[in-house]
Structure 1
Amino acid sequence: MSIKIRLSNVSKTFTTRAAAGVAPAPFVALQNINLDVRTGEFLTIVGPSGCGKSSLLDMIGGLSKPSSGEILLDGKPITGAALDRGIVFQQYALFPWRTALQNVAFALEARGMPKAERFEIAREHLALVGLSEFEGRYPHELSGGMRQRVAIARSLAHDPAVLLMDEPFAALDAQTRETLQGELLRIWERARKTVIFITHGLEEAVYLGQRVAVITSRPGRVKAVIDIPLRDRASTEDLRSTPEFGALRHQVWSLIKDEVVKAQALELS
């Protein structure tokens, strides 16, 4: 399988604000990240709070630049944001004055696509996320799970090669979250986009990912990348209760638990 995204010795350093009379100090968020993401792969990333996961996604999305190192997409350096990468955040970021259909069509409208064509594509993607009957609803008329589906449809509508997802289900209740996890897998199996999905949830990481990348406490480094050899996730009833799933979750937890303790100690220091 070909490599879609390659991160080579990527580091990110911020300059922190200092008290009066004290020189600003560098803050190393990520250090020497080396990671390959395969074409069409669903990769999940887990790590303790503050380890730099969101900063990593921002750099892949072109929203910020590495302090050092290189990020390649299809062998070419990422120099900024572009339509070849769609981003879904925890907050839905929908326009409240636009209907679901109009929200999904927004990126296509910005590209100057004719109205009939962009609405046809938007309807196809609302159908993909199971919201065909709600195209005329405004965000305040939709549940949280529905709003996140609209956000996913909007990100997919302009046909990005890569979908970047930063804890998109974290604000949802447990039942809605599990439902959307299954829906996301169904969408991924149909669209076969390259997906990078950040989460704090170990079960979510194992359930969704073909591989799970574990990031260390600050400064964030890649501690391990674990293959998840689960098949037919959506068709296996109560997959999370199987011994195979439990063993994989324990493997991820055994790698991350020390990092969580280190992160908590850093917060207290």
Structure 2
Amino acid sequence: MPEATTQSTTPKIVFEDVRKHFTVKDRTGARQGTRFTALDGIDLEIADGEFVVLVGPSGCGKSTLLELLGGLTRPTGGRILLDGEPVTGPGLDRGVVFQQYALLPWRTAQGNVEFGLEATGVPRRQRTARAREFLDLVGLTGFEDRHPHELSGGMRQRVAIARSFAYDPGVLLMDEPFAALDAQTRESLQDELLRIWQRTGKTVVFITHGIDEAVYLGQRVAVMTSRPGRIKQIVPVALGSRTATDDLRSSPEFALHRHEIWSLLHDEVAKAQQLEKEEASV
């Protein structure tokens, strides 16, 4: 796949020995809870304009890592840098798309996309034009005046993506955004996302449980261990252009990458399941 941008030698995002601990109350609600480590020593660099996918077993800390990058919570140790500056809280330089659409039900598709633009002080006329531009980009021209309940799940997720791109964040954080969709819609939105990424050159950090989705979308796939989450291995994905063939998922190259990531994940999933059993028996 052609690079969306010319990547500089200075990383856009840097995780340096990032750790995150939580304290969980026991079943009796006692104040003295159990302290467990969600993330332990995460080191990862992401280039400007890169599309990186995180995969790992349930409970390995993927979403926690994204929340830390989004500034929604603080690390227990280590640091996260964005454009060379420590992440200390949320900011409009990062857009977030969750599995749940998180749209405002009383606003139309147009109004939802304009929401982020209002927060950045964009004048009303410019907001309208920019919202329509990004609704067109995600294939929703003609649906500007529909409310979320009048749209399909795939359409609602397109609105969420348009909203995140419209106010021009440098980084897009996506936490299993297509997990709740049917297979055909999911593949369609994967293609849509790749097309938008190539056009805009944004840096994308994407979480998924799907190995096929990880291989199809990512320039690199970071495989995480079972809890405590660490980066087990980073797999570069060399597939050329994802849009040059209609049958990429059936290609031998795709199968090789898929098998490599599956092999890395297999033991970690087994460890995570064993940990869940042990914790449930306590």
State the TM-score bracket (shorter-chain normalisation).
over 0.9
3-state SS in 2 of match to 1:60: helix
The residue that corresponds to 1:142 in the other structure is 151
3-state SS in 2 of match to 1:159: coil
CA RMSD of aligned residues (A): 1.0
User: Normalising to structure 1: TM-score of the pair?
Assistant: 0.98
Q: Which amino acid aligns with 1:99?
A: T
The residue that corresponds to 2:35 in the other structure is 26
Separation in structure 2 between the aligned mates of residue 20 and residue 201 of structure 1, nearest angstrom? 36
The residue that corresponds to 1:15 in the other structure is 23
1:20–1:41 Cα change, 3 Å: closer
The residue that corresponds to 2:208 in the other structure is 199
1:5-42 Cα deviation digits (max 9, x unpaired): 00000000001112355721211000000000111000
1:40–1:15 Cα change, 3 Å: same
Moved more, 11-20 or 147-156: 11-20
Answer yes or no: is 1:164 the counterpart of 2:173. yes
1:160-198 Cα deviation digits (max 9, x unpaired): 000000000000001100110011000000001000000
Answer yes or no: is 1:183 the counterpart of 2:155. no
User: Normalising to structure 2: TM-score of the pair?
Assistant: 0.94
The residue that corresponds to 2:72 in the other structure is 63
Separation in structure 2 between the aligned mates of residue 157 and residue 20 of structure 1, nearest angstrom? 44
3-state SS in 1 of match to 2:242: coil
Separation in structure 2 between the aligned mates of residue 212 and residue 71 of structure 1, nearest angstrom? 19
Q: Which runs of 5+ in 1 are unaligned?
A: none
Tell me which of 30, 40, 47 is aligned to 2:49. 40
Q: Which amino acid aligns with 2:21?
A: T
Q: What does residue range 1-269 of structure 1 map to in structure 2 within 5 Å?
A: 1=8, 2-18=10-26, 19=28, 23-269=32-278
1:127-176 Cα deviation digits (max 9, x unpaired): 11111111111111111000000000000111000000000000000110
Q: Which runs of 5+ in 2 are unaligned?
A: 1-7
Separation in structure 1 between the aligned mates of residue 242 and residue 96 of structure 2, nearest angstrom? 24
* CA positional deviation for 1:107: 1.1
* CA positional deviation for 1:114: 1.9
3-state SS in 1 of match to 2:68: helix
3-state SS in 2 of match to 1:220: coil
1:76-130 Cα deviation digits (max 9, x unpaired): 1001000000000000000111000000000111233221111111111111111
Separation in structure 1 between the aligned mates of residue 247 and residue 184 of structure 2, nearest angstrom? 13
